[in-house]
């Protein structure tokens, strides 16, 4: 039988968020989807790793919020969340710390009591600090035996500069110097109303919103915020790091570009997808399918609050490291010299639209996208804008972007492996 | 609560539809009632190999992935001991593309010698990477071979050995396709903003004309009752010793299944559960500890597993597990604790119903096990279980003569 007609969705319907403000100035963004009997609340603090005054303190603060509070031990907090089938999650990047709670709608009142303890009254007990630091130090030591971890860290240093807040990494020994005081100080300084926003989704009834607002209103106010100025970048274009005994070399290639708010961001995302953003991408076809150098190779745009970069990442057999680098350069060269085929571009556009729709299927995905949009100063109408921007991208535009941004002399290459 | 409508086409294909009014995506799931338990002992791993072959294109549509991606869709599949599952999620407007692709590969698969050879190589690499060249990778295989003597659960989904995959003949592969990949052995389930009647119309349009060959279903040999404690020690070059203890328990539709599930939650569901709190946080015996059920359709296993810290002896470790078992057998369970695991079960059920893919997949699964209505009754069943039920279950199941203990010992430690 005949292949059915395809309709490429030109619109994604996403509910807009409503903005409420607590008396002490915390923005509470509400995406009410009452058809789902669950509640999710995220507290986003402008307290990522670049805000710390001592190595690893920002992540220690976020990760230890539930390790003991004014009224409960860590075991009691775990017990109380488990009892209502609720759970919570901590994420931290260079810019922000995200503390997220999920519960059934009918148990939100009980869960909010635990949220209050975790967000407002953490105590960071000495014993728990010591256990946490020992565990993390061990984990990081093991992590850094992997070529991909070292390449990721080295790449950030090469792109931004070794001492830059977006590039710096620390010796694992620094975990031994963390004190409870530093964590408490970080918490007092940055887990404040001025430094916080809240995004909630699912069944947000008036009652639930009141409970969330009540917590928000107790978040301490402070006139202090950290200096949000970004020092200038110092890019190094080539780094080779020797890693004895590695069977594979980890390769990172890319360049410093711009944040999500830049006019070329979306078309560069299209370009990154063509190059290495899906199973049948050019780099996958070349490095994996034709040459068997690797199990996988990817490329993507990576965002920060004030900037962003394009990265290509792969691990290849150590004996083919040089050939793999040449083939990546070859694929970049083709992008700079030949217009992408209309059919290939259409496939990529459809993959990207489908990916957006899948992320937005369900209240939690909608909240994630909304959070990202709000942090960039947009609202959910921006999703539609992005979709249209993807659709407008032409082969000519991809060619001219490749010529503009992928000049070999601007690229950064990092290789970590058992190579000379 | 998942609402659904169900029908059966004249060729025997089961079709289930869930009308999700909120989502812009649709999920199309097709489950074939064939897994490793349907294999013959001399030719294991075939069900999983076949899952791979289903992506190698047909005579009509030589490339499966591109049309899915063109339709803004995504697809994948998995195989276990009981069944093989394929799913596509895509914008609801393009749902017919999924029907077109799935109906096409139910009959027209390209099973050339060459296609089979390439895919065998991939699967053998997967065998090596995930089971042979991986610390503790053969635990599950050793455990199955000890606990089952007759039932095909005695081998893992990947197969008994890479040899079986290597040697599978083109005739065996063709026979497998004819025997198991046909309408009356499949369940099509769909979730999306599409009325059930429309789903049924599309199913009839695309699958209605596929003929159903009548194959007798080979009975699966059932496991006789175990009458003696079993024990095996292996030594391997791994950093720490693991101990695994498995007990036989009831099938998917028996009350024992729900009791086994809730008991495993009491022991190991979440950071506040017994084993983690008592044996790791309080007594520092283990690096990791877990209790879970295998979740099989036929009579399955209840499994305890732990990884020892260097300071813990094997005897101490086993005693600690048995002490937790005795505690359950005596009924030392507080109302609060039982309520906690029931709440957690209910919450996880709800969290699992938030997107169309999970719903389509679950509808296929519950239909396959033979009681579709169970999908909306399980929370109530868990709510009805008592401490006495759990104590009795623990007395019946956690007996030495019903146990298989695997000591996976770290060499030179």
Domain ranges of chain A: 18-216, 238-417
Residue carrying the six token digits 């009141």 = A210
Asked whether residue B202 falls in the same domain as residue B251, the answer is no
**Rounded CA gap, B96 and B71, in Å?**
10
Question: What is chain A's alpha carbon radius of gyration, rounded to the nearest angstrom?
Answer: 23
**Rounded CA gap, B299 and B256, in Å?**
10
Listed in sequence order, the residues at least 6 apart from B341 whose beta carbon sits closer than 8 Å to its beta carbon are: B262, B265, B266, B269
A310 token code pair? 């394009």
Put simply, whether A363 touches B (Cβ < 8 Å) is: yes
Task: Produce one character per residue of A352-377: b if its CB has 16 or more CB atoms within 10 Å, e if not.
Answer: bbbebbbebbbbbbbbbbbbebbbee
For B340, the closest of A9, A83, A280 (CB atoms) is A83
Fold of domain A18-216 = Cytochrome Bc1 Complex; Chain A, domain 1 (3.30.830)
Asked whether residue B203 falls in the same domain as residue B242, the answer is no
Q: Report if residue B221 sits inside a domain.
A: no
Which residues of A fall within a CB distance of 8 Å from B93?
A: 7, 9
State phi, psi for A314 to the nearest 5 degrees. Answer: -160, 160
B407 token code pair? 């000591």
DSSP B396: H
A289 token code pair? 């399918």
Which of A253-267, A352-366, B157-171 is least confident?
Answer: A352-366
Q: Inter-chain contact A83–B65, Cβ cutoff 8 Å?
A: no
Tens digit of each residue's pLDDT (9 = 90 or more) over A94-138? 999 999 999 999 999 999 999 999 999 999 999 889 888 877 887
**Rounded CA gap, B175 and A362, in Å?**
41
Which residues of A fall within a CB distance of 8 Å from B288?
A: none
Give yes or no for a contact between B408 and B236, defined as CB atoms under 8 angstroms apart.
yes
Put simply, whether A4 touches B (Cβ < 8 Å) is: yes
Q: Report if residue B48 sits inside a domain.
A: yes
For A84, the closest of B66, B97, B343 (CB atoms) is B343
Q: Inter-chain contact A84–B350, Cβ cutoff 8 Å?
A: no
A residues 369..398 contacting B (CB < 8 A): none
Q: Which residue of B has its CA nearest to A350?
A: B72
Asked whether residue B269 falls in the same domain as residue B331, the answer is yes
Q: Inter-chain contact A357–B281, Cβ cutoff 8 Å?
A: no
Burial class (CB in 10 A: 0-12, 13-18, 19+), A395: middle
For A1, the closest of B94, B100, B273 (CB atoms) is B100
pLDDT band at A226 (very low <50, low <70, confident <90, very high): low
Asked whether residue B247 falls in the same domain as residue B198, the answer is no
What does the pLDDT read at residue B411? 87
Q: Inter-chain contact A347–B69, Cβ cutoff 8 Å?
A: yes
Q: What is the pTM of this model?
A: 0.87
Q: Report if residue B404 sits inside a domain.
A: yes
**Rounded CA gap, B119 and B302, in Å?**
34
Q: Report if residue B74 sits inside a domain.
A: yes
Query: Smallest CA–CA separation between A168 and chain B, in Å?
Result: 32
Inter-chain Cβ pairs, chain A and chain B, closer than 8 A: 119
Q: Is the dihedral of CA A110, A114, A115, A120 positive or negative?
A: positive
Q: Report if residue B298 sits inside a domain.
A: yes
Put simply, whether A238 touches B (Cβ < 8 Å) is: no
Tens digit of each residue's pLDDT (9 = 90 or more) over A83-96? 999 999 999 999 99
Tens digit of each residue's pLDDT (9 = 90 or more) over B23-76? 889 999 999 999 999 999 999 999 999 999 998 899 999 989 899 999 999 999
Question: What is chain B's alpha carbon radius of gyration, rounded to the nearest angstrom?
Answer: 23
For A357, the closest of B24, B61, B348 (CB atoms) is B24
Q: Inter-chain contact B94–A4, Cβ cutoff 8 Å?
A: yes
Secondary element (H or E) of residue A249: strand A248-256
Q: Inter-chain contact A75–B281, Cβ cutoff 8 Å?
A: yes
Which residues of A fall within a CB distance of 8 Å from B339?
A: 83
What does the pLDDT read at residue A337? 98
pLDDT band at A36 (very low <50, low <70, confident <90, very high): confident
What does the pLDDT read at residue B241? 92
Query: Smallest CA–CA separation between A33 and chain B, in Å?
Result: 9
What does the pLDDT read at residue A101? 97
For A350, the closest of B69, B100, B339 (CB atoms) is B69
State phi, psi for A338 to the nearest 5 degrees. Answer: -125, 140
CATH superfamily of A238-417: Metalloenzyme, LuxS/M16 peptidase-like (3.30.830.10)
Secondary element (H or E) of residue A356: helix A342-359
Q: Inter-chain contact B343–A107, Cβ cutoff 8 Å?
A: yes
User: Is residue A384 over pLDDT 60?
Assistant: yes
User: Is residue A143 over pLDDT 80?
Assistant: no
Put simply, whether A90 touches B (Cβ < 8 Å) is: no
Asked whether residue B176 falls in the same domain as residue B274, the answer is no
Instruction: Write out the residue range of the structural domain in which residue B131 sits.
Output: 5-207
**Rounded CA gap, B360 and B353, in Å?**
10
Asked whether residue B176 falls in the same domain as residue B303, the answer is no
| Mean pLDDT for the stretch of residues A321-348 | 97
Pairing of strands A97-104, B242-248: unpaired
Closest by alpha carbon to A274, among A326, A354, A341? A341
**Rounded CA gap, B278 and B360, in Å?**
39
Put simply, whether A107 touches B (Cβ < 8 Å) is: yes
Give yes or no for a contact between B362 and B2, defined as CB atoms under 8 angstroms apart.
yes
Closest by alpha carbon to B212, among B188, B180, B176, B175? B180
Which of A16-30, A54-68, B229-243, B271-285 is least confident?
Answer: B271-285
**Rounded CA gap, A141 and A145, in Å?**
7
B315 token code pair? 């005897």
Is the pLDDT higher at A280 or at B180?
A: B180
Given the cut 0.95, state whether the ipTM is greater than it.
Answer: no
For A9, the closest of B65, B91, B340 (CB atoms) is B91
Q: Inter-chain contact A79–B74, Cβ cutoff 8 Å?
A: no
Q: How large a percentage of chain B has pLDDT more than 90? A: 79
Substitution target in B68, B72, B203 with the highest count of A β-carbons within 10 Å is B72
| Mean pLDDT for the stretch of residues A67-89 | 93
For the range B107-113, what are the long-range contacts, defined as Cβ-Cβ under 8 Å and sequence gap of 24 or more? B107/B210, B108/B58, B108/B59, B108/B60, B108/B61, B109/B53, B109/B54, B109/B56, B109/B58, B109/B177, B109/B181, B110/B56, B110/B57, B110/B58, B110/B59, B110/B62, B111/B53, B111/B170, B111/B173, B111/B174, B111/B177, B113/B170
Query: Smallest CA–CA separation between B321 and chain A, in Å?
Result: 21
What does the pLDDT read at residue A215? 98
Substitution target in A6, A15, A341 with the highest count of B β-carbons within 10 Å is A6
What does the pLDDT read at residue A289? 76
Q: Is the dihedral of CA A262, A263, A269, A272 positive or negative?
A: negative
Q: Inter-chain contact A364–B344, Cβ cutoff 8 Å?
A: no
Residue A171 CB coordination number (10 Å): 11
What does the pLDDT read at residue A363? 85
Closest by alpha carbon to B122, among B40, B53, B36, B34? B53
Q: Inter-chain contact B72–A78, Cβ cutoff 8 Å?
A: no
A residues 269..308 contacting B (CB < 8 A): 278-280
Q: Report if residue B214 sits inside a domain.
A: no
Residue carrying the six token digits 């069900």 = B47
A211 token code pair? 């409970």
- How many domains does chain B divide into? 2
Supply the angle between the helices B335-351 and B255-268 in degrees, to the nearest 10: 100
Which of A216-230, A297-311, A336-350, B240-254 is least confident?
Answer: A216-230
Asked whether residue B156 falls in the same domain as residue B253, the answer is no
Which residues of A fall within a CB distance of 8 Å from B281?
A: 75
Which residues of B fall within a CB distance of 8 Å from A33?
A: 22
Asked whether residue B273 falls in the same domain as residue B160, the answer is no
For A3, the closest of B65, B100, B271 (CB atoms) is B100
Q: Which residue of B has its CA nearest to A355?
A: B72
Mean pLDDT across chain A, nearest whole number? 93
Intervals of chain B under pLDDT 70: 129, 133-134, 413
Put simply, whether A233 touches B (Cβ < 8 Å) is: no
Asked whether residue B328 falls in the same domain as residue B378, the answer is yes
User: B237: domain CATH number?
Assistant: 3.30.830.10
Residue that finishes a domain, picked among B207, B241, B266: B207
Residue carrying the six token digits 């328990």 = B249
Q: Inter-chain contact B93–A7, Cβ cutoff 8 Å?
A: yes
Give yes or no for a contact between A45 and A95, defined as CB atoms under 8 angstroms apart.
no
Q: Report if residue B212 sits inside a domain.
A: no
Same topology between domain A18-216 and domain A238-417: yes
Which residues of A fall within a CB distance of 8 Å from B209?
A: none
Residue that finishes a domain, picked among B207, B239, B259: B207
């Amino acid at each position: 039988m005949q292949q059915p007609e395809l309709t490429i969705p030109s619109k994604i319907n996403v509910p807009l968020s409503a903005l409420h403000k607590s008396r002490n100035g915390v923005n509470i963004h509400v995406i009410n989807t009452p058809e789902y009997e669950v509640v999710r609340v995220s507290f986003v603090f402008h307290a990522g790793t670049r805000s710390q005054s001592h190595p690893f303190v920002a992540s220690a603060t976020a990760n230890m919020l539930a390790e003991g509070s004014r009224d409960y031990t860590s075991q009691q907090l775990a017990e109380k969340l488990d009892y209502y089938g609720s759970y919570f999650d901590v994420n931290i990047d260079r810019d922000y710390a995200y503390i997220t709670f999920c519960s059934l709608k009918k148990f939100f009142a009980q869960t909010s009591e635990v949220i209050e303890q975790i967000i407002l009254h953490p105590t960071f007990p000495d014993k728990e600090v010591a256990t946490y630091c020992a565990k993390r130090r061990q984990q990081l030591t093991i992590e850094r035996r992997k070529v991909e971890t070292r390449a990721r860290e080295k790449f950030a240093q090469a792109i931004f500069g070794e001492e830059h807040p977006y590039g710096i990494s620390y010796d694992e020994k620094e975990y031994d110097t963390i004190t409870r005081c530093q964590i408490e100080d970080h918490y007092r300084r940055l887990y404040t109303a001025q430094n916080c926003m809240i995004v909630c989704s699912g069944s947000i009834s008036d009652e639930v919103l009141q409970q969330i607002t009540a917590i928000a209103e107790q978040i301490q106010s402070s006139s202090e915020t950290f200096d949000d100025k970004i020092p200038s970048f110092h890019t190094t274009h080539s780094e080779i790091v020797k890693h004895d005994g590695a069977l594979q070399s980890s390769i990172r290639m890319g360049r410093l570009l711009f944040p999500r708010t830049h006019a070329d961001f979306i078309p560069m995302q299209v370009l990154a997808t063509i190059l290495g953003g899906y199973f049948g991408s050019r780099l996958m076809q070349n490095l994996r399918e034709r040459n068997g150098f690797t199990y996988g190779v990817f490329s993507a745009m990576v965002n920060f609050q004030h900037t962003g970069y394009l990265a290509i990442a792969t691990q290849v057999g150590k004996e083919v490291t040089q050939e793999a680098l040449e083939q990546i350069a070859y694929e970049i060269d083709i992008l700079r010299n030949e217009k992408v085929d209309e059919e290939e571009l259409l496939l990529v556009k459809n993959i990207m639209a489908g990916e957006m729709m899948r992320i937005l299927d369900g209240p939690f995905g909608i909240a994630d996208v909304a959070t990202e949009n709000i942090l960039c100063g947009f609202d959910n109408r921006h999703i539609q804008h992005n979709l249209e921007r993807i659709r407008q991208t032409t082969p000519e535009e991809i060619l001219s972007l490749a010529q503009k941004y992928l000049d070999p002399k601007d690229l950064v290459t990092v290789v970590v492996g058992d190579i000379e | 609560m998942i609402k659904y409508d169900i029908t059966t086409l004249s060729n025997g294909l089961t079709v289930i539809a869930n009308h999700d009014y909120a989502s812009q995506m649709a999920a199309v799931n097709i489950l074939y009632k064939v897994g490793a338990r349907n294999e013959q002992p001399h030719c294991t791993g075939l069900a999983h190999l076949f899952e791979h072959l289903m992506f190698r294109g047909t005579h009509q549509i030589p490339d499966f992935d591109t049309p899915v991606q063109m339709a803004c869709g995504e697809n994948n599949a998995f195989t276990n001991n009981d069944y093989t599952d394929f799913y596509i999620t895509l914008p609801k407007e393009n749902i017919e593309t999924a029907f077109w692709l799935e109906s096409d590969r139910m009959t027209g698969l390209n099973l050339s010698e060459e296609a089979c050879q390439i895919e065998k190589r991939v699967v053998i690499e997967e065998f090596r990477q995930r089971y042979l060249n991986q610390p503790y990778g053969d635990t599950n295989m050793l455990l199955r071979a000890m606990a089952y003597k007759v039932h095909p659960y005695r081998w893992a989904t990947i197969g008994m050995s890479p040899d079986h995959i290597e040697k599978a003949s083109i005739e065996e592969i063709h026979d497998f396709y004819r025997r198991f990949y046909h309408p009356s052995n499949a369940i099509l389930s769909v979730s999306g903003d599409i009325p059930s009647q429309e789903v049924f119309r599309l199913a009839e349009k695309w699958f209605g004309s596929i003929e159903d060959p009548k194959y007798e279903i080979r009975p699966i040999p059932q496991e006789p009752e175990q009458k003696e404690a079993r024990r095996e020690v292996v030594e391997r070059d791994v950093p720490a010793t693991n101990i695994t203890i498995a007990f036989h328990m009831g099938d998917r539709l028996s009350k024992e299944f729900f009791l086994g599930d809730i008991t495993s939650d009491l022991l190991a569901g979440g950071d506040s559960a017994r084993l983690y709190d008592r044996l790791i946080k309080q007594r520092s015996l283990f690096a990791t500890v877990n209790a879970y059920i295998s979740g099989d359709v036929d009579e399955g296993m209840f499994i305890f597993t732990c990884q020892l810290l260097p300071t813990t002896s094997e005897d101490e470790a086993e005693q600690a597990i048995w002490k937790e078992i005795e505690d359950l057998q005596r009924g030392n369970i507080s109302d609060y604790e039982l309520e906690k695991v029931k709440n957690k079960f209910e919450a996880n059920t709800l969290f699992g119903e938030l997107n169309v893919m999970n719903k389509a997949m679950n509808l296929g699964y519950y239909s396959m096990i033979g009681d579709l209505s169970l999908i909306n009754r399980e929370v109530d069943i868990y709510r009805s279980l008592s401490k006495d039920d759990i104590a009795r279950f623990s007395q019946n199941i956690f007996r030495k003569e019903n146990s298989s203990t695997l000591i996976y010992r770290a060499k030179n430690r």
